[in-house]
Amino acid sequence: MEKAFLAAWAAARAEAAALGIRMRPVPPEEAVRTARRCLSGRRLSDGFQALAARGRLDLSLEALVVNKAYTALFSDEEANEALTRLLEAGYRFSPSAPSRKNR
């Protein structure tokens, strides 16, 4: 599951980069630890804010964290923080899967 999360986060970061959104590189061996650290406070990252401005929160770390495929990697508190950030930013979820656009 961790390898799949790493691949998904790398793919999301690459897609964000293609949109001109710069995100700090994360070494694969530190990815889950880094994700947990990012979710430990209430401060929004510059990347999250840039993705929100472009309507692409589907590419955010927070969207990955609440994805059912990866929730076992994170605590309830971390998942709740990710969900709160997404909802406060206006992210909409479709009934079957996380939304591909922030509307």
Domain locations along the chain: 2-88
Q: How confident is the model at residue 15 (pLDDT cuts 50, 70, 90)?
A: very high
For the cut 60, the answer to whether the pLDDT of residue 45 exceeds it is: yes
Most confidently modeled range among 21-25, 31-35, 39-43: 31-35
Please check whether residue 51 is in contact with residue 21, taking contact to mean a CB–CB distance below 8 angstroms.
yes
Band (42; pLDDT cuts 50, 70, 90): confident
Question: What Cα–Cα distance (Å) separates residue 13 from each residue in 16, 65, 86?
Answer: 5, 14, 17
| Per-residue model confidence (pLDDT) at position 63 | 95
The separation between CA 13 and the C-alpha centre of its own chain, rounded to angstroms, equals 9
